[in-house]
Structure 1
Amino acid sequence: MTRFLQIHSLSSYPAVLLNRDDAGLAKRLPYGGSTRTRVSSQSLKRHWRMAEDAWALKGVGAPMGIRSREIVERRILPRLTGDPEVVKAVGAALVKHLYGRNSAAVRDRQAILLGQPEIDYLARIAAEAAAAASGATSAAAEIDARLAKGTGKANLAAMLASAGTLAAGLEAALFGRMVTSDPDANTDAAIHVAHAFTVHREESESDYFTMVDDLRVEAGAAGSGGIFDTELTSGLFYGYVVVDVPLLVSNLAGDPDLAGKVVEHLLHLIATVSPGAKKGSTAPYAYADLMLVEAGTRQPRSLAGAFRKAVPLRRDGDLAADAMIEMVRHLTKLDAAYGSGEARAHLSVLDTPADGFGAALTLDALAAWAAGRVSAPDATRTAA
C-alpha cells in the first residue's frame, strides 16, 4: 500500500541566478551553521506547472487553471453581449464576490486560482444576470441572487458540484488553493514541495558587465551604453517532494489512474525542468544527477539531515559523489533506527554506488514505477 511517495533529487548548476529575492540577489537559507543558496518551492512549482514539453502537466488530460487578478475582465466580460453599462455593472458585482468588497481596482486584489470549468460556470452566471437585469442598477442584485451565500448556488465551494469534475483545475488538485473570500473553496495540497538548497555552503560572485552602444562605436566614440553588476551562484541542490497519494486521488475525483499519470509526468518534470532567472545570459538548464523515489505508508521524512553539516568543497573532489555518500550514510542510519518501511528505486548518473536506494532505473522506468505505486488499487487506502 502506498500512502506517501517521496522524491529526493540532486541537481547541479554553474554560474546561474535561479531564484532572486526582492533585492535581485540569490535567495539564501541558513542551515547547519552555514549559508546555502536556495530555490523557493513557489519557483519550482511555477516552472513545473508552466513546462511546455512532452511531459507538461497540461498533457495529463485534466482541465488546467488560471491564476490572475483580472479573470473577470479578461476571461468573463469579453464573452458577454448586450448593454455595455449592464455588462460593466455585472463585472463589478462579480469582482466583489470573487476578490472581496474592496477590490474594485485591480491593484487592490489578490490573484486567485480558478479552473477553466469554474470560469465557464461564472461566465454562464454573468450572462444570465446580464440578460435578466433591467438596467445597470439592477445588475448587482441579479449577480447577488445567483452568487450570494445561502442561495445554495454561488460560492466557489458549491460551484464544485455545478461545474463538474476537477472544477478548480489540475493545479489546485496538485498544489492546493486558498481563497480568502470563500474558505469553503480551499483545496488542500496533495503534493508538498520543499525549498531546494545547496548541500554545501553558498558559492557566489558579483558579475560585472557592460552594455555596448553600437552607434557610438560606429562613430568612433567610447562604446559603453551602461555599466551593471549582478550576482551569479553555483551549486548542487537537494530537492524534496512528497505526494500524499490518497489525497491526490481524492482531489482527482477518485481516479487512481489519473493520479498515476500525474505522478509519471511529475517525475519527468522534477528531473528535467530547471528553474531560473536570467535564462538568456546563463542558460540555467540541467538534468538531475540523482533521483531517489520511496513509496510507503509511514509519515515522510526528508533526507536534508544528510547535509546539516555542509559537504566540504574540495579542489580535487567530486561534490555530487560526496553528496550521494552522505545521503547513503544518512539513510542507512535512519533505517537502522526506524526500520526500512519503504519500497525504493532510483536514477543516477554518478559512479558512486547507491546502496540501499533500490533498483537503478532509467527516468522513463522510474517514472513508470512511481506511477504504478500510485495507480495500484490499494493506493487509495488511508493508512491507519
Structure 2
Amino acid sequence: MRPPAARIPEPRIYVDIHILQTVPPANLNRDDQGNPKEAFYGGVRRSRVSSQAWKRATRKHFAERVPEQDLATRTRRVIAALADRIEHGTALGKEPALRLAEALLSQLALSAGKKKGESAYLLFYGRRQLDAVAALVRDRAHELAGLDDEALAETVKTMDVREKFSTGHPIDVALFGRMVADIPALKVDAAAQVAHALSTHAVELEFDYFTAVDDEQSDDETGAGMIGSIGFNSATLYRYATVGVHQLLQNLTEGETAVNAVEEFVTSFARSIPSGYTNAFAHRTLPSLVSVVVRRDQPVNLVSAFERPVSASPGVNGSGIAAESARRLAREHLQAIATWGDTPAFTAASHTYTDAPETSDALREAFGSPVPFTKVLSGLRAHLVDNLKQAEQ
C-alpha cells in the first residue's frame, strides 16, 4: 500500500536549468551505426545527445558525491541482489537465500527473465529499500528456509514487501521516477524532466580514420596492425532540464531532503557529461553558461531561441557561435516574459562572458548579474527553503 501523498505547495514550483556548453570533437552518444546522434531541427541537421544519456551521466555524478547506500541501482538482477543480502545477513547458504528472495519478491509479481534470479526488465530501486526487504526475514531466516514452498508462500504474504519499495525513495528514484508497467503500485512519478541536448547550429558528421601499429611487427612487414574510423562532430549544445519541486516533495515527503535533492541535481546535471569514446576524444568541458530560473506557472524550454541556426558573428566583436547562442538565449527568455507575462520568482546565472560586454549585458538583463556557480546554488537553496516554509504555514 502506498503512503498518502505529501501536501503539494501552491503555487507549484518548477526549477528550470538552462545550459550552454561547447564540446570539441567528440562522440558523446552514438546511434545504432556508432555515429553521434543527430536531429533535424529548424531545417538543418543538429548534433543531439539523448536525455537518457545525460540522465545516466547525472546519476553517475551523484555517485561521486552521495554515499552508495543512499542511491538507487537499476538492474534485472534484483532477486539475486536480495539473495546476496539475505545470505550475508544470515548463516544461510546461497540456494536457501535465493529461495527466500524469490518468495519475497513474488509479491511484486515481477515477470521472470530468461536466467534464474533475474526479472524480465530493469527495476530501479534504492539500495536501502532492498536492505529493508532483506531485514524482514533476517531474524527468522532458518525457520522460513525450513518451510515447504506452499507454507513459505503463505507466510511471506504477511510481509510488507511492496511497502518497502514504495517508501524511503533515494533521491535518484525521486527525481527520475520509476515505471513498472505491470505493477502500478511501484510507479514513482518523475520530478525531473531532461530534454535532448541540441546544437544551437548546424553540424556535419565527420570521421576520424585511424591506424594502429603492431608493436611486435617485424621490420620486413609493412602496413598497419588494424585500421578503423570513428564518427564525431563538434558543437555548442543547448541543454535544458526542469525539476517540479512539488512532485519531489510527494516522492520524498520531507522539505529539506527535497531541497538537497534539487541542489544535487543542478550540480550533477551541470557538471556531468556522457562518457562515450572519452579515451579517444578527451572531450570533457564545463558549461559556458548555467542559468537557473524558478517559475510558478510551468516549465519553459527555451530551445526555440535556436530554431534559426546560429552562425559565427564576426560583426559583434568577432564573437563566435557560443557567444551568439548566449545572446539568443537571453533574448528568448526576455521575450517569453514580455509575451506571456510570467515573471520568474527567482533567476540566477553563472557564465564566462564577463569580458564580452555585449554578451554580458544581454545576460545581465535576462538573468541578473553573473555570480559563481556556488552562489547560484546557495541562492536557489535559500529561495526554495523560504517558499517551503511559507507553504507550511
Q: TM-score, normalised by structure 2?
A: 0.84
Q: Secondary structure at the match of 2:21?
A: strand
8 Å CA contact 1:212–1:225 kept in 2: the answer is yes
Does the 8 Å contact 1:40/1:196 carry over to 2? yes
Q: In structure 2, give the amino acid aligned to 1:330.
A: E
Q: Any stretches of 5+ residues in structure 1 without a counterpart?
A: none
Other-structure match for 2:273: 274
**1:10-41: CA deviations, max 9, x gaps?**
00001000111222111112212112111111
CA contact (8 A) 2:208 2:231 kept: yes
Alpha carbons 2:100, 2:144 under 8 Å: kept: no
Query: What's 2:125 paired with?
Result: 114
Aligned to 2:66: 58
Secondary structure of the corresponding residue to residue 232 of structure 1: strand
Size of the aligned set, in residue pairs, is 366
Shift of 1:167: 2.5
Match of 2:50 in 1: 40
Q: Which residue of 2 aligns with 1:368?
A: 378
Which of 325, 328, 331 pairs up with 1:326?
Answer: 328
Which amino acid in structure 1 is aligned with residue 277 of structure 2? K
Query: Aligned partners of 1:82 and 1:296: how far apart in 2?
Result: 54
Which of structure 1's runs of 4+ aligned residues deviate more than 6 A? none
Deviation track 1:185-226 (CA, whole Å, cap 9, x = no partner) reads 11111111111110111232011111211001x544225121
Shift of 1:134: 2.9
CA contact 2:313–2:324 (8 Å) conserved in 1: no
- Give the match for residue 11 of structure 1: 21
Counterpart AA for 2:216: L
- Distance across 2 between alignment mates of 1:334 and 1:360: 21
Label 1:82 to 1:321 Cα distance change in 2 as closer, same or farther (>3 A).
closer
Q: Distance in 1 between matches of 2:13 and 2:98?
A: 49
2:70 counterpart SS class:
coil
Unpaired runs of 5+ residues, structure 2, are: 1-10
User: Which residues in structure 2 correspond to 1:275-294 (within 5 Å)?
Assistant: 275-294=274-293
Aligned counterparts, 1:149-164, within 5 A: 151=158, 153-156=159-162, 158-160=163-165
| Structure 1 CA distance for aligned equivalents of residues 62 and 164 of structure 2 | 29
Distance 1:139 1:257, change over 3 A: same
Aligned alpha-carbon RMSD (Å): 2.7
Please tell me whether the aligned partners of residues 89 and 139 of structure 1 are also in contact (alpha carbons under 8 angstroms).
no
Is the contact made by 2:62 and 2:264 (CA closer than 8 Å) also made in structure 1?
no
Aligned residue number for residue 180 of structure 1: 181
2:23–2:236: 8 Å Cα contact kept in structure 1?
A: yes
Moved more, 23-32 or 1-10: 1-10
CA gap 1:199/1:252 in 2 versus in 1, 3 angstroms: same
- Alignment check: 8 A CA contact 2:83 2:97 kept: no
Which position in structure 1 is the counterpart of 2:308? Answer: 309
Alignment partner of 1:230: what SS? Answer: strand
Match in the other structure for 1:132 = 144
Residue identity matched to 2:372 = T
1:247 deviation in Å?
Answer: 1.6
Deviation sequence 1:54-107 (CA, Å, 0-9, x none): xx4516x98211211113224533532336553343344456555724335267
Q: CA deviation at 1:251?
A: 1.9
Distance between the aligned counterparts of 1:220 and 1:184, measured in 2? 69
Give the Å deviation of 1:379.
Answer: 6.6
- Cα distance in structure 1, aligned partners of 2:390 and 2:222: 69
Cα shift readout 1:145-204 (whole Å, capped 9, x = no counterpart): 424xxx5x4452x2257xxxx623221111111123421111111111111110111232
282-291 vs 70-79, which moves further = 70-79
Residue number in structure 2 paired with 1:253:
253
Would the aligned equivalents of 1:72 and 1:94 in 2 still touch at CA under 8 Å?
A: no
Say if 1:28 and 1:35, in contact at 8 Å, map to a contact too: yes
Deviation at 1:278, TM superposition (A): 0.8
Give the match's secondary structure for 1:215: coil
**One-letter amino acid matched to 1:346:** A
Establish whether residue 348 from structure 1 lines up as the match of residue 351 from structure 2: yes
User: Which sits farther off after the overlay, 310-319 or 179-188?
Assistant: 310-319
Moved more, 191-200 or 268-277: 268-277
What is the CA deviation profile of residues 301-356 of structure 1, one whole-angstrom value per residue up to 9, with x for unaligned ones? 11011011111256865101111121122223212211241021111112212122
